[in-house]
C-alpha cells in the first residue's frame, strides 16, 4: 500500500519538476499560472492533470485539439515514480534519498531540455552530501577519491570542449557516494551507454547527465543490499 502511495507521489512530483524545468525562465507562471495544452493553449482540467492516467485515458492526445501530447510527460512521471519506489524499497524510505534523487531528476530534465544545468542544483546536492557526511557518514573519501577529484578538476579547467562542466561536477559528487572499487564500473556503464546512444542516434553531442544517473543508480542500489 505504502509503495503504491510513494509511486504516485513520485509521479506527481515528476510532473511538477518537468513543469518547473519548462517554466524555469518564467518562474512566476510556474507558481501562479495554470497548465495549458502545448498545442492549443487551452487551460487543462483536473482530469487531464493526473500523472500517466490522463495520458492513457485520452490516448496521448489533447481531447480538444486532438494533437499528440509529447510522451516526455508520462515518461518523466513514470521515471520519478519508479525512482521513488526504488528509494522506498532499497534506501529505507529515507527522506534524504528522496531529496537526493529528486535533485538528480531535475538535473536530468534540465540536461535533456536545455543541455545546461543551473549551479543551484549542484549546490543543493553538495549541501545534502555535507549533511550526509555529518549524520549518516555514508560518503567515501579516500586518497583515491581525491585523485579522481583532482583529475576532474584538471578536465574542468582545460578540457571542457569534450565534456561539460556540469557533467564533471556531477561525476565528482556521485563518485564520493561510491566506494573506489565501484568507480570503474560507474565510468564504464556511463560511457558505454552514452556511446551506444551516440551511435544509435548519430548525434555527436548528447546530454550526459541521464547516462551518469543511469550508471550510478544500480551501483548505488548494490551498495545498499
Residue 137 region by backbone torsions, left for phi larger than 0, else alpha for psi between -120 and 50, else beta: left
Nearer to Zn ion, 48 or 77 (CB): 48
Q: How much is the CA Rg of the chain, to the nearest whole Å? A: 19
Binding residue for Zn ion, selected from 3, 65, 89, 222, defined by CB under 5 A: 65
Residue 39 lies near Zn ion (rule: CB under 5 A): yes
- Choice between 40 and 89, CB closer to Zn ion: 40
Place of cell 567515501: 140
Phi, psi of 18 (to 5 degrees): -65, -40
Q: In the beta sheet, which residues pair with residue 68?
A: 61
Is 44 or 139 the residue whose CB approaches Zn ion more closely?
44
User: What is the smallest separation between the CB atom of 41 and Zn ion, expressed in angstroms?
Assistant: 7
Counting contacts by CB under 5 A, is residue 223 touching Zn ion? no
CB of 67 to Zn ion, least distance (A): 6
Closer by beta carbon to Zn ion, 42 or else 56: 42
Local structure of residue 26 (DSSP, 8 states): G
Residue from 37, 128, 148, 155 binding Zn ion (CB under 5 A): 37
User: What is the rounded CA–CA span in Å between residue 218 and residue 88?
Assistant: 15
CA distance 94 to 71: 30
Contacts of 8 (CB under 8 A, 6+ apart): 51, 81
Q: For Cα atoms 108, 110, 112, give the angle at the middle one, nearest 5 degrees.
A: 70
**Residue range at the interface with Zn ion (CB under 5 A); choices 61-69, 126-134, 144-152, 199-207:** 61-69
Of 5, 36, 40, 154, the one binding Zn ion (CB under 5 A) is 40
Q: Check binding of 44 to Zn ion (CB under 5 A).
A: no
User: From the centroid of its chain, how far is CA 76?
Assistant: 9
**Least gap, CB of 68 to Zn ion (angstroms):** 10
Q: How far is the CB of 21 from Zn ion (least distance, A)?
A: 21
- Local structure of residue 64 (DSSP, 8 states): T
Contacting residue, 62, 72, 149, 191, with Zn ion by CB under 5 A: 62
36 is an interface residue for Zn ion by CB under 5 A: no
Residues that bind Zn ion (CB under 5 A): 37, 39-40, 62, 64-65
Amino acid at each position: 500500500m505504502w509503495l503504491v502511495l510513494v509511486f504516485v507521489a513520485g509521479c506527481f512530483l515528476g510532473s511538477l519538476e518537468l513543469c518547473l524545468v519548462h517554466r524555469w525562465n518564467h518562474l512566476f507562471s510556474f507558481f501562479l499560472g495554470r497548465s495549458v495544452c502545448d498545442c492549443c493553449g487551452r487551460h487543462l482540467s483536473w482530469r487531464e492533470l493526473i500523472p500517466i492516467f490522463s495520458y492513457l485515458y485520452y490516448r496521448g492526445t489533447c481531447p480538444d485539439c486532438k494533437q499528440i501530447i509529447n510522451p516526455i510527460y508520462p515518461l518523466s512521471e513514470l521515471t520519478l515514480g519508479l525512482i521513488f519506489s526504488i528509494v522506498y524499497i532499497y534506501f529505507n524510505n529515507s527522506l534524504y534519498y528522496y531529496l537526493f534523487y529528486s535533485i538528480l531528476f531535475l538535473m536530468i530534465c534540465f540536461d535533456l531540455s536545455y543541455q545546461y544545468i543551473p549551479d543551484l542544483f549542484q549546490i543543493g546536492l553538495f549541501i545534502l552530501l555535507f549533511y550526509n557526511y555529518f549524520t549518516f557518514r555514508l560518503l567515501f573519501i579516500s586518497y583515491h577519491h581525491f585523485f579522481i577529484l583532482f583529475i576532474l578538476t584538471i578536465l574542468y579547467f582545460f578540457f571542457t570542449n569534450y565534456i561539460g562542466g556540469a557533467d564533471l561536477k556531477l561525476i565528482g559528487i556521485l563518485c564520493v557516494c561510491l566506494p573506489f572499487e565501484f568507480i570503474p564500473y560507474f565510468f564504464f556503464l556511463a560511457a558505454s551507454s552514452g556511446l551506444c546512444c551516440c551511435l544509435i542516434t548519430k548525434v555527436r553531442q548528447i546530454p550526459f547527465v541521464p547516462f551518469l544517473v543511469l550508471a550510478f543508480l544500480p551501483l548505488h542500489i548494490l551498495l545498499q543490499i
